[in-house]
């Protein structure tokens, strides 16, 4: 086995000892001694032994006593030596393989952790970028919207009215894109919380009809509503979130349908109402269907046309339905059309609150009547935005006093006589818009009716201003939204005073 002849090697313990590898010698002697002293019931030893050619082989030695003395000590031992070199090589290879595999797993785990960190940093950077981009664009856009609204009150000629309408459409498109960015910031901040309340399905479908029938007809598309008309059906949900979801779905259906029409249907399925939006549009291919609810994903818009949006609408729909504890699904066939489906729990309308918000919009005549004769203090550091808001409010019949910062306004002689306060959040100086309103509230004996306007739509600011006590509107602020926020506070103030 080791390459020696029987004449070249002695058959004794000393020769065996000389053949052992130095690193295995002590362990082998210990095994022999343990067996001879009775500490071990059997003799077994693995060690490297030197061959005649100078190489080493792994040898398994095993033995048993065949004769013992009266005290039980072994007198004669018969054993075997077995070449286990290949076995040990295989074991070593397996061990190295396991070590390499473990190292590869650890390396892959580290790579995945780094990838996750990179993804989280990328997501955070994206959110910060969207907030920063939104902030930089909101200031001039807000001013431009205010000037467009002011032009509507200047008795324009028919041709001028047409140009104003086109300009208004372009500004609304831009405002809509920024609004989607703000929605994403709100979702990322975790500040959108559903406010569940009961309302009638008929009310919701009337809102759909009033807002989308004409748009569909302008494209020569049919627009039909199908729902149970022989009974009152209550839904318990967040009306604002649901309107936002259906607005996105119906708007997309109209946008991507050239022939045929759109059907919005509602059917009772057990304890829920299933709402579906059908269209006969371009459809979605099977490979694109799993990705349509991803952020910034758009089918059929390789040039990234801004008229087609940012690809956030369906992502917002998905997030909204998740907040409501429900799901949204889509089935589609390319060039045949699509159907989006969601389900909502049925609710007993006998429990409906009388304070349920109405679905509708205010008109310019009502807005002018609301603002006519009112005294308004406006605190705005941006000259362009200040000029736009000033002209708009003056054209609506309000008396407007302008200030560039909070300190100047606080020292104004007649500051407390104003009916409304409209202030930017980020003002020049140490006092921001909310702190300014808090200073005024300490001096006022009646509720302070105000609106805070901000060009910063970041998650941090949204969290910071959530409980400030006044509505925070993000630029560009639409005129109906501003009037509605002031009107709601006025109504609450009058109700409180009457009580």
Pseudo-torsion of CA 286, 287, 289, 294, nearest 10°?
A: 180
Q: Rounded to an integer, what distance in angstroms lies between the CA atom of residue 160 and that of residue 198?
A: 45
**Which H or E element spans position 214?**
helix 201-218
**Which H or E element spans position 322?**
helix 313-323
Highest mean pLDDT among 302-316, 367-381, 463-477: 367-381
Residues 6 or more apart in contact with residue 8 via CB below 8 angstroms: 52
Asked whether the beta carbons of 226 and 260 are under 8 A apart, the reply is no
Encoded tokens for 474: 């993000």
pLDDT band at 348 (very low <50, low <70, confident <90, very high): low
pLDDT of residue 270 exceeding 60: yes
pLDDT of residue 32 exceeding 80: yes
Cis peptide before 476 (omega within 30 of 0): yes
Encoded tokens for 163: 């140009």
Higher-confidence residue: 312 or 481? Answer: 481
Mean pLDDT over 27-39 rounds to 87
pLDDT tens digit sequence for 373-422: 999 999 988 877 788 788 888 888 899 999 989 999 998 888 998 999 99
Encoded tokens for 499: 């009580």
Other Cβ atoms within 10 Å of 19 Cβ, number: 18
Higher-confidence residue: 461 or 351? Answer: 461
The DSSP string of 29-55 is: HHHHHHHHTTSSSSEEEEEEEE-TTS-
pLDDT band at 361 (very low <50, low <70, confident <90, very high): very low
CA angle 35, 38, 40 (to 5 degrees): 55
pLDDT attached to residue 358: 38
E-strand spans in 144-252? 197-200, 222-226, 234-237
How much is the CA Rg of the chain, to the nearest whole Å?
40
Encoded tokens for 95: 């061990």
pTM equals 0.42
CA angle 440, 441, 444 (to 5 degrees): 90
Rounded to the nearest integer, the mean pLDDT of the chain is 80
Q: How is the chain split among helix, strand and coil, in percent rounded to 5?
A: 50, 20, 30
**Which H or E element spans position 283?**
none
pLDDT of residue 482 exceeding 50: yes
Q: Rounded to an integer, what distance in angstroms lies between the CA atom of residue 81 and that of residue 13?
A: 14
pLDDT tens digit sequence for 160-199: 888 888 787 777 666 665 665 555 566 655 656 777 777 7
pLDDT of residue 464 exceeding 90: no
E-strand spans in 137-256? 197-200, 222-226, 234-237
Q: Rounded to an integer, what distance in angstroms lies between the CA atom of residue 73 and that of residue 65?
A: 9
pLDDT attached to residue 356: 38
Encoded tokens for 412: 């104004």
Pairing status of strand 328-333 against strand 337-347: antiparallel
Q: Rounded to an integer, what distance in angstroms lies between the CA atom of residue 179 and that of residue 371?
A: 26
The DSSP string of 146-164 is: HHHHHHTTS---HHHHHHH
DSSP 76: E
pLDDT attached to residue 23: 94
Mean pLDDT over 144-150 rounds to 78
Task: Categorise residue 44: left if φ over 0, alpha if ψ from -120 to 50, beta otherwise.
Answer: beta
Mean pLDDT over 421-428 rounds to 90
Strand, coil or helix: what is 74?
Answer: strand
Domains and CATH numbers, the chain: 13-83 (3.30.450.20), 124-191+361-499 (3.40.50.2300), 197-351 (3.30.565.10)
Asked whether the beta carbons of 182 and 134 are under 8 A apart, the reply is yes
Asked whether the beta carbons of 352 and 234 are under 8 A apart, the reply is yes
Which among 26, 20, 29 is positioned nearest to 47, based on CA atoms?
Answer: 20
Mean pLDDT over 93-122 rounds to 83
Q: Rounded to an integer, what distance in angstroms lies between the CA atom of residue 384 and that of residue 144?
A: 9
Q: Of the given ranges (67-76, 159-168, 347-356), which has the lowest mean pLDDT?
A: 347-356
Helix spans in 396-478 (H): 406-410, 433-443, 459-465
Q: Rounded to an integer, what distance in angstroms lies between the CA atom of residue 105 and that of residue 95?
A: 15
Half-sphere exposure of 448 (CA within 13 A, CB side): 23
């Amino acid at each position: 086995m080791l390459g020696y002849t029987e004449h070249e090697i002695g058959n004794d313990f000393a020769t065996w000892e000389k053949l052992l590898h130095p690193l295995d010698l002590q362990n082998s002697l210990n095994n022999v001694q343990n067996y001879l002293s009775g500490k071990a019931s059997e003799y077994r030893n693995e060690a490297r032994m030197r061959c005649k050619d100078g190489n080493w082989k792994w040898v398994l030695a095993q033995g048993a006593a065949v004769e013992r003395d009266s005290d039980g000590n072994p007198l004669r031992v018969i054993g075997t030596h077995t070449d286990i070199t290949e076995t040990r090589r295989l074991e070593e290879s397996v061990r190295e393989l396991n070590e390499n595999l473990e190292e590869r797993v650890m390396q892959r785990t580290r790579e995945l952790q780094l990838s996750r960190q990179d993804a989280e940093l990328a997501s955070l950077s994206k959110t910060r970028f969207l907030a920063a981009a939104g902030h930089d664009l909101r200031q001039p856009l807000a001013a431009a919207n205010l000037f467009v609204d002011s032009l509507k009150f200047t008795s324009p000629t028919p041709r001028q009215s047409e140009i104003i309408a086109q300009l208004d459409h372009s500004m609304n498109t831009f405002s809509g894109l920024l609004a989607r960015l703000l929605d994403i910031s709100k979702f990322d901040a975790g500040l959108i919380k559903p406010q569940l309340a009961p309302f009638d399905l008929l009310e919701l479908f009337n809102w759909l009809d009033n807002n989308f029938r004409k748009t569909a007809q302008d494209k020569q598309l049919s627009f039909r509503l199908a729902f149970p008309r022989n009974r009152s059906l209550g839904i318990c949900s967040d009306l604002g979130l649901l309107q936002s979801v259906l607005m996105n779905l119906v708007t997309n259906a109209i946008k991507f349908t050239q022939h045929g029409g759109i059907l919005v249907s509602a059917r009772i399925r057990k304890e829920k109402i299933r709402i579906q939006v059908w269209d006969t549009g371009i459809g979605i291919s099977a490979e694109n269907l799993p990705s349509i609810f991803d952020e910034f994903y758009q089918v059929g818009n390789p040039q990234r046309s801004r008229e087609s949006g940012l690809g956030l609408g369906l992502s917002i729909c998905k997030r909204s339905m998740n907040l409501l504890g429900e799901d949204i699904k889509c089935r589609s066939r390319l060039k045949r059309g699509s159907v989006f489906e969601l389900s909502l729990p049925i609710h007993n309308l006998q429990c409906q609150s009388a304070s349920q918000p109405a679905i509708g919009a205010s008109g310019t005549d009502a807005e002018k009547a609301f603002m006519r004769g009112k005294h308004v203090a406006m605190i705005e550091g941006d000259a362009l935005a200040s000029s736009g808001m000033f002209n708009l409010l003056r054209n609506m019949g309000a008396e407007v006093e302008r200030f560039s910062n909070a300190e100047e306004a606080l020292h104004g002689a007649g500051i407390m006589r104003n009916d409304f306060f409209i202030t930017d959040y980020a003002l020049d100086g140490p006092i921001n818009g909310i702190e300014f309103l808090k200073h005024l509230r300490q001096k006022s004996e009646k509720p302070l009716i105000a609106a805070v306007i901000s060009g910063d739509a970041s998650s941090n600011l949204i969290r910071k201003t959530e409980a400030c006590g006044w509505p925070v509107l993000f630029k560009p602020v639409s005129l109906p939204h501003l009037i509605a926020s002031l009107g709601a506070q006025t109504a609450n103030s009058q109700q409180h005073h009457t009580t």
